[in-house]
Structure 1
């Protein structure tokens, strides 16, 4: 089950970059794009939980946590990422987002007292080096100026918001709350937040969009949000936030494979090395090494 959830998250979130790119090309404002994405997601989730009679009654305190989660992972963090790409390359953004592994592991220790596995350090190191190698040309090609620093700052802020959203989801599950219900409320509150921001900035809520942009929006809402976040948060509850966040290192690999097929992306040695390092990091994190006891070895000898 864990492997299925992990693969589902990697494949879905590894393909959302295409939809985001199509959405940005349509000219729709960032605030309105995020609003519609999570409004549609909330509508789908509420319809599902009501029809299946799975809608759970939440206490006021739980609603407040859902609102906080909305700010962290269903609102402001996406605004940070969307604006950051105006200042830095998507490759550099992927490198920075890989810090989610570190943030999740440290936050899990800070908020829940979870011990850091000895596997974390070599796996995180290999994964981080792999992402840097994968996007080496983007990293070395970026000049350090005010715009670059702004993009880096926004991306770090968005990544930390993503991590805090993970912690709140872990809190929900520890309290026995249903993921579908908390996600539905979180996405609803996130859409309300983005609607208020868009209204304040006088953004156009109903811009003219081509079929490709509408399709991209529906993909982001249903697959990227409803299915993707639900699977991911289940993963957080089952294997821990640190291990779940390691899936973020695999998103770029899926994106590059698709880019190779559809856009003719050329693989260079740095990209191959990056893939190998990331896969090695995954192996360290998830593959259980066989345990040998001294008594068994003595018997065999």
Structure 2
């Protein structure tokens, strides 16, 4: 199950860059993000109510969902959208891959979790791979105020994403349902983004281009409802550090699609980067397999105990 969730998150979030690119235009980033998570929240809430799986939570837990919505369903996306005006997508990908380290460090800080040696080595290999993959873009980046603004926004967005991971992990430690907390958090994220856009005097007129609407639906339903649910379940199963390793594979999916449809040409440093990232996966996967084995062992033990009691 862990491998399925891992693969699903990589494939889904590795393709959302296309949809985000299709949304570029006159619409303010805050408005696009608000529409995305408003639609995602409606889909999740309606689906959970129909299935009678929407779990009520206490007011205190709702406050945590507000924080989660701000961190991972709102402000982080605004940071990345605005950063794209100052730096290349390659540099953004390199910075976002730091989520692996942020998650490991935050898990240690907030939950006292030890940082496993293989997670550190996998993260270092992955970061080296991402840097090598986008080395030509990094070399072309000239040091100027715009560069520092873009980098700062990307780091802020990545750290916000990591904090959202910690909040989801906290939810699950308190026995809260992932789809339900995601639905609430997406609602609060959408409201926050709408309020921010309104405060800035942004135009809320919906972009009626077919490409924009299709991108909105894909980002809301596939990228948010399916992608974030799978990702946060994975956080609960293998830890935030292991789950965040997915972020190192997103650019590979994006570049593979670009190779097929946009005639992207691989360079030597790109191939080296690919090899390093795959090596990082080989270091990381034993953790995933061990967690899976531990889970199966726990389930089998539970069934044996039930049979023994009978």
TM-score (norm 2): 0.92
Q: What aligned pairs does 1:195-214 form with structure 2 within 5 A after superposition?
A: 195-214=194-213
Distance in 1 (CA, whole Å) between partners of 2:126 and 2:287 is 18
Deviations 1:237-276 (A, max 9, x none): 0000000000000000000000011100001111111000
Q: What aligned pairs does 1:276-291 form with structure 2 within 5 A after superposition?
A: 276-287=275-286
Equivalent residue number for residue 189 of structure 2: 190
Deviations 1:180-236 (A, max 9, x none): 110000000000001101111121112332111100000000000000000000000
Equivalent residue number for residue 11 of structure 1: 11
Compared CA separation, residues 128 and 208, structure 1 to 2 (3 A)? closer
Distance in 2 (CA, whole Å) between partners of 1:132 and 1:38 is 31
Distance in 1 (CA, whole Å) between partners of 2:34 and 2:156 is 19
Equivalent residue number for residue 260 of structure 2: 261
> Given the alignment of the two structures, is residue 273 of structure 1 paired with residue 276 of structure 2, yes or no?
no
Equivalent residue number for residue 178 of structure 2: 179
Deviations 1:121-141 (A, max 9, x none): 221111010000000011111
Deviations 1:68-124 (A, max 9, x none): 011100000000000001000000000000100000000001111111111122211
Q: Where in structure 1 are there 5+ consecutive unaligned residues?
A: 291-301
Would you say how many aligned residue pairs link Structure 1 and Structure 2? 290
Compared CA separation, residues 100 and 234, structure 1 to 2 (3 A)? same
> Given the alignment of the two structures, is residue 78 of structure 1 paired with residue 73 of structure 2, yes or no?
no
Equivalent residue number for residue 293 of structure 1: none
Compared CA separation, residues 58 and 142, structure 1 to 2 (3 A)? same
Distance in 1 (CA, whole Å) between partners of 2:156 and 2:81 is 12
Distance in 2 (CA, whole Å) between partners of 1:288 and 1:208 is 44
Q: What aligned pairs does 1:219-258 form with structure 2 within 5 A after superposition?
A: 219-258=218-257
Conserved in 1, the CA contact under 8 Å of 2:10 and 2:250? yes
Distance in 1 (CA, whole Å) between partners of 2:151 and 2:46 is 38
Equivalent residue number for residue 299 of structure 1: none
Q: Where in structure 2 are there 5+ consecutive unaligned residues?
A: 290-310
Distance in 2 (CA, whole Å) between partners of 1:243 and 1:233 is 12
SS of 1:227's partner is helix
Distance in 1 (CA, whole Å) between partners of 2:35 and 2:27 is 11
C-alpha RMSD of the superposition: 1.4
SS of 2:206's partner is coil
Distance in 1 (CA, whole Å) between partners of 2:276 and 2:141 is 23
Distance in 1 (CA, whole Å) between partners of 2:84 and 2:164 is 21
TM-score (norm 1): 0.94
- Point out 4+ residue stretches in structure 1 off by more than 6 angstroms: none
Q: What aligned pairs does 1:106-117 form with structure 2 within 5 A after superposition?
A: 106-117=105-116
Distance in 1 (CA, whole Å) between partners of 2:186 and 2:207 is 24
CA apart distance, 1:31? 0.8
